[in-house]
Structure 1
């Protein structure tokens, strides 16, 4: 699509763009069902819910809670205590109604309260740590002498305001089940979910969205570093084709490991002695965590650390001098506790400050234990993640047992609100009908057929379909424990057996030992100076041996230097004692794809027989957004889109990546008009590449696979992102806009599939498009991959738009086929390859920015805003590698 075509935009095109601007798209309805494949009997972790009273109406009331000093109370824990006390005290005024309270500002009843507005005064026994355990005048947590003990149990007064807000008829759920649009259906389901959450809150569980966790030690998995994985349960009501169901699943969250604070700090910093602790780091880690004092059982929130250790940290305290007079003296924390017969074993440690910013309250660290069930929201290390995955695995039968036991033991039917609504929940998993689609045939070297077996294949005695030849290359070594000669020899031998002709490396470049103490960027620069000195010209490929961990600090600067500045394809490896033929085969799959080769191909692709895609030029897009670590609102998000190239192939892709405002999910740079009228967006880049590699053909069909969006964002994908794509297309020339098909892929859901007559995971190729799917919208579950360990999680695909007009069978077979074209592996993957590639591209490019400093540019609005302009731009890829599959 040359620039001459790009300049051919006329007024008609602009008017069409303006017209499309006002188009409001909605998610399509299901056109039919798939029929191909071998039938299979399945069960799902959905429990059927019977609604015998659809005439019930939920009344929603707004709740405001103020303390006696007229301050708004917004803590969830205290809110539930106040509302519970209000129900006990004013039950008759409220006509004995049962409440569902969300812990914040909404309260629901079945049927109305006697009046629309109430104001109640509620008195709670004082439980706030701020007024507990202080010395009379200042701030050391004492042991409860009579004066303070009396003070700590003074009643506290709250004013609760209740006002009518809305009516939510339960009939809306029945209408939604019949496929009718109902504004209140989601609201009614939310009320039912709140009833479940309220039950768990009363049992002292930690609530995280729609999951709940108890402090039973049997549910904890130590992840090291003072962090534990806590296994709990997810529960949510869903409208399905088979009726209302309760979706129950095992869920995991991260919590701070309960126990002594000193032990937490030692494990968190991985040191053995308290003398080695980094206290500034400890202060940052401890802030806002809650602790319980061992000497008086009171809970406190940490706001900081004392400047001095207990033995030297003083505070003013009033001391009686005779009968009436008193004087203020400075006393150390250690002396104070000694006077109360609490003797500190480690007075040389600082104190926790559990007071207010201008009124410190000191608690010796050795007298403090971490409160259980405190969420840990910081990013996990790669080792912690690996441990969590390994320890969280459950075989299908174990998961079934845990889930069904939970439904039986929780006795949801006994809840008075559910009883009033006539809600009964089945105790057995729902049976569903599935189909197993046949795996697509692959073609490898010498046009030899390769038939996957249970989602797997291999290259034993086979060659790659389109192997490259590598002549000018070198090995660079950042690792002190590496035999480069052996790596070179084994790689060359393995390559030849797979059809890749690899000449001997031009050079083996070791890092200078003194350079290892330098900063990562300096180490990379020095290594390149050595590479230039050892090579007569730029290499076509560099193999980089990293020290120890792949996610080490060198990785980002090394990739940036190669892909942005030098235009050199590079493959990183880590020394391992498992560097066998299988290891090098996996490495070579990546190298071959990066250098433009192809490892395998679909037989249908090879024979130009892919339905619909083969008839008209079709661009396949995979779209994903990668966000910074939790809590880091200063790190830009990375939007990545990959586009297919060399039509009619569906195995080759190119990536385009941009930064955008932190935590923004919608991609705002698909179409990016500049002041001169040109477009610098992602889609233009991919359209040009498609045109140049597809016999100068413009795509007349675009299939979009979008990852990482929730159901509440479907409309934005259809009306913001799709509009941008069409604008980018129209900006490049006249002609009708392409037909678009939009498919959302969701992995982050809680529906699982189990074989009804076997204990194994469901076979690869299993698809379900009835029973547990949406009653109206076009969605299906597919488990394309084999699950040898744990319980397989199917991908939930939602087809929002299908202007191309696929039959359900053709679309499902295309999705399955795209799970077999992933060039990095010899297995079917769980989600289509374009989405995996977009994820990889975003992750790799984000490493470019690892050492950059950012100001907080987040608008906090969750939508693209003016702040987008302040987001630092990502370095663009060098022209020599921009069209490669560098992300493989």
Structure 2
């Protein structure tokens, strides 16, 4: 294969390059190779998996479709009613089921072990309603007696159950033997539905495969009217050691139950009701469920009244005895109705809007002080940084605590007593699965002065050491958006610590304090004003700017980064310093050195060009990730980032390419973007050319791809869509031969934990498991590269979908372990390979560019729902040429 032609341009203008027309063959997910890794020291481990025995492997699940309608054949919407109806149906017509127990998903599918007597069953089910539409407050003025009578009204539903499919349990047994079976996931899904049904009958909140009890002992307040609730995840998993039940502690967020007014005060951070922002309150409260104190009625909030309680009028139909003719209508305020007609004293809500629990054209108003939020209502909005930190701190558990939690939960839920599981002959052991793991050898590092650095327990530091390749900073300045620190002290301390790490830092050209008058402006205007000050004081742009912001996550950050990286091409480092200390400033200098092209440390193998299978063959490493907008924001585009290694044979230096794409879309669609002239404006072309230019004119003949953020159901899309785009981008450069690929999915969002046998500590850094609890067919393994100092470590779960390069298990595991030690931002091994962390950082940082643009003024931000199809995806501005190749994301 010939060398890639150097840019620019790849082809003469207006000449379409020759591109191989044939699409590359579609790949299948590779099968686990024979044998497992052998390097490293053996260690006895246990895991939060419990062995599952199956005595009836020939069982067959029969799937039935469930259709629920009202008497007039209108479909029933909403999930809450389905389980009540089907339970009532079974109580009433159990003989029609021939005594068979079932598993119901709460919506449209019901499963039995063996068939029902008939393929189609139709039932009429009468369900008593505690409260009906006519018993709501302030709508028609019925008497209390009439209300009580109406509350016993019943409703009739039609339920149709019809045969849909057969799912054989034997498919699981075949999968456990390593066979490729199409419907294994279907059978496992039925088993998981059985677990969900059991939790639903116990009154739990169900979130995917996790469930949460309404028990205040499991609640932790995290501020802002949000409560973290601890529950459990449970799912059946096929493994090399047989089927297992994975049980883990899980946490979700709920709205803090209790009086609505208390929630609003806490959520908005105000002390008195008069300071409540009711526009925000309306957005926040919509669709929440409440109970009313005066009638113990549960209903859903649909909005707020336009006027306050003592001004909001409605028509009250009078009853006999009111001194007027029965049936006559009089206009009355909500406040007057509750005080005079209901005898309820309202102490503070007369000057507030009422909650509307009716329908759009038939409002039903209830004073705020009579309403309380129902428990176990999920809070799905984005958490603040303070809330996230509080949740992590309050929900973490040490290894022994977590072991006790999951083993106690397994005993308490008594899955063995479930009739459907019993019919399958399923029994679950009560002890954690034990197995062997290995601790990989810690990679040695090279730092300044050709010194070796040997990390200890996944950590190291630069005390008495210097950076391997320190940069020199001649022209720089510092700006201050926070009035809480002394810029001159920070600059002096930074220069002093720089000497210790080998970075020569000249005195700053200037120190600029923000004009106090600018503090009242918006973040974009504040940044513009600061640059006016900079340009007034400096004739030429500096090499570097140190920026002090008020706090982490400040609104200044996004506009500042956009201004410096896009408009001026100046590397910057933002800090929000606590007390200045050498370790803190050393960490700041690690980021600065990396952004300015220096190198803090390298792997010793990398330094001496001895990385197996990479040193002798030009190899490019890609890290890919997608960052999505906040929950509920369908107007915010997703941001896809890919980082590619540069300066081969190094594996510590990377360049990022970032693009926007449609909201909530996980597959990256900007890898290959053909233009009308035949060229390509995609991510991969940008990274390939950079590799070529920084690797002595060599092109990659091997590409290792690390992909983050995808679930098992998306593996084939990554393998056959994203990989295909990478290949097309390579071919667009005029190359007919294609590099060899190794494609690895990295997952952190899973529920397998590893524990040291007979030890209260986390597993040592470098622990790897590739037997017993791994998939019987797919090539996967678990690795805990980091040192878990607090809580319980979560291993990274790596899935190898394709390996054309031909790594042995040991070579691949040691490479991945090493890539956890090349992260230039810290002196610790990280939990997942550095290229993925860098991609995540790049997507998050560039995504901040959009935060304060016109996008924030869209209708969705003002409370309406907008579909992604109706919004054109705005393109991100490209970085200034001076910083495009830098590790600006560090």
Scaled by the length of structure 1, what TM-score is found?
0.96
Check the 8 A contact 1:139/1:360 in 2, yes or no.
no
- Which secondary structure does the structure 1 equivalent of 2:798 belong to? strand
Mapped partners of 1:792, 1:78: distance in 2: 40
Deviates more, 1:339-348 or 1:406-415: 339-348
| Compared CA separation, residues 7 and 23, structure 1 to 2 (3 A) | farther
Structure 1 position 725 matched with structure 2 position 713 = no
Q: Please tell me whether residue 834 in structure 1 is matched to residue 804 in structure 2.
A: no
Corresponding residue SS for 1:389: helix
Q: Which residue of 1 aligns with 2:762?
A: 761
Q: How far off is 1:96 after superposition?
A: 1.6
Q: Distance in 2 between matches of 1:11 and 1:168?
A: 56
The answer as to 2:877 corresponding to 1:878 is no
Superposition deviation, residue 93 in structure 1: 1.3
Q: 1:611 aligned to 2:612?
A: yes
Unaligned runs of 5+ in 2: 861-866
Question: How far apart in 2 are the matches of 1:867 and 1:680?
Answer: 23
Partner of residue 190, structure 1: 189
Deviations 1:673-729 (A, max 9, x none): 000001000000000000000010000000000000000000000000101111111
Q: How has the CA–CA distance of structure 1 residues 139 and 839 changed in structure 2, closer, same or farther, with 3 Å as cutoff?
A: farther
Distance in 1 (CA, whole Å) between partners of 2:113 and 2:449 is 70
Q: Give yes or no for the alignment of 1:395 onto 2:398.
A: yes
Find the residue that maps to 1:320 and give its secondary structure.
coil
Q: Matched residues in 1 for 2:859 and 2:453: separation?
A: 50
2:863 equivalent in structure 1 = none
Deviation of 1:13 after TM superposition, in Å, equals 8.9
Contact 1:133 1:152 in 2 (8 A): no
Pair 1:12–1:308, CA change in 2 (3 A): closer
Shifted more, 68-77 versus 163-172: the winner is 68-77
Q: What pairs with 1:651-800 in structure 2 (closer than 5 Å)?
A: 651-800=652-801
Task: Tell whether the 8 Å contact from 1:5 to 1:732 is kept in structure 2 after alignment.
Answer: no
- Cross-structure match for 1:215: 214
Aligned pairs for 1:431-470 (under 5 A) are: 431-470=434-473
CA spacing shift, 1:261–1:477, aligned 2, 3 Å? same
RMSD, aligned CA: 2.0
Counterpart residue number, 1:275? 274
The answer to whether the Cα contact below 8 Å between 1:290 and 1:370 also exists between their aligned partners in 2 is yes
Contact persistence 1:544–1:571 (CA under 8 A):
yes
Alignment of 1:163-312 (within 5 A): 163-312=162-311
Cα offsets for 1:602-654 (capped at 9, x unmatched): 00001111000111000000000000001111100000000000000000000
Match of 2:32 in 1: 29
| Cα separation, 1, equivalents of 2:140 and 2:399 | 54
Distance 1:119 1:867 in 2: 40
CA drift at 1:248: 0.3
Q: CA deviation at 1:523?
A: 1.2
1:806-841 CA distance string (max 9 Å, x none): 000000000000000000000000000000000000
> Where in structure 1 are there 5+ consecutive unaligned residues?
859-864
Q: Partners of 1:69 and 1:358 in 2: how far apart?
A: 22
Q: How far apart, in 2, do the equivalents of 1:730 and 1:324 lie?
A: 87
Residue 94 of structure 1: how far off its partner (Å): 1.6
Distance 1:618 1:602 in 2: 16
SS of match in other structure, 1:589: helix
The residue number in structure 2 matching 1:488 is 491
Superposed displacement of residue 295, structure 1: 1.3
- The Cα shift of 1:757 comes to 2.0
- Separation (CA, whole Å) in 1 of partners of 2:9 and 2:716: 32
Contact 1:292–1:369 (CA<8 Å) still a contact in 2? Answer: yes
**Residues 759/77 of structure 1: CA separation in 2 closer, same or farther (3 Å cut):** same
Matched, 1:384 2:387: yes
2:133 is the counterpart of 1:105: no
Pairs within 5 Å for 1:495-514 = 495-514=498-517
Partners of 2:123 and 2:169 lie apart in 1 by 29
**Are the counterparts in 2 of residues 129 and 300 from structure 1 also a CA contact under 8 Å?**
no
Please state how far the C-alpha of 1:159 moved relative to its aligned partner.
0.4
2:810 is aligned with 1:809? yes
Residue-pair matches, total: 875
CA contact (8 A) 2:233 2:250 kept: yes
User: Match of 2:479, SS?
Assistant: strand
Check if 1:18 corresponds to 2:22.
yes
What TM-score results when the alignment is normalised by the length of structure 2?
0.96
User: Which secondary structure does the structure 2 equivalent of 1:18 belong to?
Assistant: coil
Secondary structure of the structure 2 residue equivalent to 1:650: coil
Q: Distance in 2 between matches of 1:780 and 1:438?
A: 17
Which SS does the other structure have where 1:870 is aligned? coil
Instruction: Please identify, of 438-447 and 2-11, the stretch whose mean Cα deviation from structure 2 is larger.
Output: 2-11
CA distance in 2, matches of 1:9, 1:270: 60
Q: Given the superposition, is the C-alpha separation of residues 321 and 124 from structure 1 closer, same or farther in structure 2, using an over 3 Å criterion?
A: closer
For the residue of structure 1 that corresponds to 2:147, the secondary structure is helix
Deviations 1:447-479, CA, capped at 9 Å, x for gaps? 100000000000010001000000000001111
Cα distance in structure 2, aligned partners of 1:686 and 1:711: 27
In 2, Cα distance between the equivalents of 1:800 and 1:9? 39
Is the CA contact 2:657–2:683 (under 8 Å) kept in the aligned structure 1?
Answer: yes
Q: Which residue of 1 aligns with 2:850?
A: 849
Structure 1 SS opposite 2:193: helix
What is the distance in 2 between the residues matched to 1:452 and 1:599?
A: 14
TM-aligned CA deviation for residue 125 of structure 1: 0.4
- Could you tell me how far apart the structure 2 residues matched to 1:307 and 1:450 are? 68
Change (3 A) 1:837 1:15: closer
Question: Contact 1:31/1:778 (CA < 8 Å) preserved in 2?
Answer: no
Deviations 1:478-500 (A, max 9, x none): 11112011001100000001100
CA contact (8 A) 2:17 2:678 kept: no
* TM alignment of 1:34-113, pairs within 5 A: 34-113=37-116
SS in 2 for 1:402: helix
Structure 1 SS opposite 2:642: strand
Q: Return the offset for 1:314.
A: 1.9
